[in-house]
Amino acid sequence: MALLLRAVTWGLLPWRSHCSSAPQRGLSKGFVEALEAVVGSPHVSTAAAVREHHGRDESMYRCHPPDAVVWPQNVDQVSRLAALCYSQGVAIIPFGTGTGLEGGVCALQGGVCVNLTHMDRIRELNPEDFSVVVEPGVTRKALNTHLRDCGLWFPVDPGADASLCGMAATGASGTNAVRYGTMRDNVINLEVVLPDGRLLHTAGQGRHFKKTAAGYNLTGLFVGSEGTLGLITSATLRLHPTPEATVAATCAFPSVQAAVDSTVQMLQAAVPVARIEFLDEVMMDACNRYSKLNCSVAPTLFLEFHGSEQALAEQLQRAEVITQHNRASHFSWAKEAEERSRLWTARHNAWYAFLALAPGFKGYSTDVCVPISKLPEILVHTKEKLKASGLTGAIVGHVGDGNFHCLLLVNPDDAEELQRVKTFAEELGRRALALRGTCTGEHGIGMGKRQLLQEEVGPVGLETMQQLKVMLDPRGLMNPGKVL
């Protein structure tokens, strides 16, 4: 029972729908009518099924449905919705594409979920300035499809086809971050509706410069704010020229240590890799099955290089020397677009490949990030801990950034197993902190890592964050229960 209670406190139990029986925490009829007056009645729903769909993300956190879902059509409506909710003391939860892995959209106190996907315009494209302005309904793939013919692309690529504003909200990254940076490096300006309805342009309206030294970095404050400070209604993003040529490669290693040593050595030798991803043998096996690959079942690196034909030849040669020095085998290059795409699609689908190992089970993903010199140590240790824990897990990582995920399978009906997963995840988080890293490289704090955040930033760090939160959201109505 104690275990069960603890699991409930962690917000894990049960995933199977509690939602339909969840009490309607009561928005008055008058309030729902006021929402309808802002967005039009077809764009408001209080139906149980709709609320349930908006009360969960892709994580194993249980569903907490909001009391109502609204679909604003433009920023003016978002402003009026926020002002209305705020004046009535109703919680507001921004909703992107719901692919988050930390329960970010769970409506812990009910309230109004704002599904922003109807706002899906690309408002402005400035090819010469390498910038674009997108609304919250635009996903990373939709943007890249739009950019296809203009020689530019947006490199930040979480496995899921997430909304770009949601990615800004979580400080997301992906496989290209080692070369092109994360959302933190690629957001230039944000348009934000503050909780009271006012409109903020974090870098000044319409501005899209390469650099600035003008005052506090408000853009940086909203990147990674996870919907707790305001609703992002558009993002100005940095674009990059499409590489002239691209080559991908896979290679298998005799041990985790050898694969990670290769990574560290490649970075130290300043080989300009665009992607360098690690998959352990469990993950590799899962990907072979799920994505019909034919890779050796061994610790593996997926690599990619971008540049001119000439530069590529040199990069490849240097990478091969380093991996061979670490006893890599099965080196295979993929030059054709189709073959590369097969490889990276498999990598992006690693989460689903892992879940497919045990139908009916749920997944939990840890997300620590450490200084690159500590990566071999923590990876090898995690692998040993995983074996000793008796849990089913696999490791996949953006190792070029010192960031990796230990994915864990859990039986949603087993409170004891849930507790073991929680303990494992917390211990791993603390180990990363001890190595001067962070408990989350890219998924965010959400519901489950608030304690670790406190330990990470310390009392004054936390107090400063709390003060910022109170200043922007004095009534605590923006996505309550997350981050702090």
Ligand X SMILES: *[C@@H]1O[C@H](CO)[C@@H](O)[C@H](O)[C@H]1NC(C)=O
Contact footprint for ligand X (CB under 6 A): 53-54, 71, 98, 115, 117, 184-185, 187, 212, 217, 219-220, 223, 294
From the list 180, 161, 184, 159, the residue with the least C-alpha distance to 171 is 184
What's the CA gap between 53 and 393, in Å, rounded?
27
How many helical (H) and strand (E) elements, i.e. helices and strands, does the chain have?
17, 18
* Residue 64 engages ligand FAD in binding (rule: CB under 6 A): no
* Main-chain phi, psi angles of 206, to 5 degrees: 80, 0
* Residue 394 engages ligand FAD in binding (rule: CB under 6 A): no
Among 34, 107, 116, 266, binds ligand FAD (CB under 6 A): 116
Q: Minimum distance from CB of 339 to ligand X (Å)?
A: 12
What's the CA gap between 360 and 166, in Å, rounded?
28
Among 65, 166, 363, 397, binds ligand FAD (CB under 6 A): 166
* Residue 171 or 376 with smaller CB distance to ligand X: 171
* Residue 220 or 307 with smaller CB distance to ligand X: 220
- Bridge partners, residue 277, by sequence: 302
Picked from ligand X, ligand FAD, none, the partner binding residue 442 (CB below 5 to 8 A depending on kind) is: ligand FAD
Tokens of 98: 């719901």
* Residue 85 engages ligand FAD in binding (rule: CB under 6 A): no
Cα separations in angstroms, 120 against 80, 136, 172, 193, 467:
19, 6, 19, 16, 33
Q: Minimum distance from CB of 166 to ligand FAD (Å)?
A: 2
* Residue 395 engages ligand FAD in binding (rule: CB under 6 A): no
What's the CA gap between 294 and 287, in Å, rounded?
9
Q: Minimum distance from CB of 186 to ligand FAD (Å)?
A: 12
Q: Which stretch binds ligand FAD (CB under 6 A): 74-82, 172-180, 243-251, 466-474?
A: 172-180
- Bridge partners, residue 224, by sequence: none
Report whether 136 contacts 116 (CB < 8 A).
Answer: yes
Report whether 104 contacts 444 (CB < 8 A).
Answer: yes
What's the CA gap between 213 and 231, in Å, rounded?
25
* Residue 71 or 404 with smaller CB distance to ligand X: 71
What's the CA gap between 312 and 344, in Å, rounded?
19
Picked from ligand X, ligand FAD, none, the partner binding residue 96 (CB below 5 to 8 A depending on kind) is: ligand FAD
Among 11, 66, 72, 96, binds ligand FAD (CB under 6 A): 96
Cα separations in angstroms, 239 against 34, 71, 150, 173, 257:
40, 29, 11, 15, 35
Q: Which stretch binds ligand FAD (CB under 6 A): 158-166, 204-212, 239-247, 409-417?
A: 158-166
What's the CA gap between 30 and 431, in Å, rounded?
51
Going by their DSSP bridges, the two strands 44-45 and 68-70 should be labelled as antiparallel
Tokens of 12: 């894990």
Report whether 115 contacts 54 (CB < 8 A).
Answer: yes
Picked from ligand X, ligand FAD, none, the partner binding residue 100 (CB below 5 to 8 A depending on kind) is: ligand FAD
* Residue 217 or 345 with smaller CB distance to ligand X: 217
* Residue 88 or 332 with smaller CB distance to ligand X: 332
What's the CA gap between 74 and 87, in Å, rounded?
20
* Residue 263 or 323 with smaller CB distance to ligand FAD: 263
Which residue sits closest to ligand FAD, CB atoms considered? 166
Which residue sits closest to ligand X, CB atoms considered? 220
Among 101, 295, 415, 477, binds ligand FAD (CB under 6 A): 101
Among 35, 75, 91, 93, binds ligand FAD (CB under 6 A): 93
* Residue 208 or 383 with smaller CB distance to ligand X: 208
Picked from ligand X, ligand FAD, none, the partner binding residue 376 (CB below 5 to 8 A depending on kind) is: none
* Residue 98 engages ligand FAD in binding (rule: CB under 6 A): yes
Cα separations in angstroms, 128 against 122, 188, 238:
16, 15, 11
Picked from ligand FAD, ligand X, none, the partner binding residue 136 (CB below 5 to 8 A depending on kind) is: ligand FAD
| Residues in 446-465 that interact with ligand FAD by CB under 6 A | none
Q: Minimum distance from CB of 202 to ligand X (Å)?
A: 8
Picked from ligand FAD, ligand X, none, the partner binding residue 104 (CB below 5 to 8 A depending on kind) is: ligand FAD
Alpha helices in 187-280 (DSSP H): 218-222, 256-268
* Residue 174 engages ligand FAD in binding (rule: CB under 6 A): yes
What's the CA gap between 23 and 369, in Å, rounded?
39
Going by their DSSP bridges, the two strands 131-134 and 231-238 should be labelled as antiparallel
What's the CA gap between 344 and 321, in Å, rounded?
23
Binding footprint of ligand FAD on the chain (CB under 6 A)? 57-58, 93-101, 104-105, 116, 136, 158-160, 162-163, 165-167, 169-170, 172-174, 226-227, 231-232, 351, 442-443, 479, 482
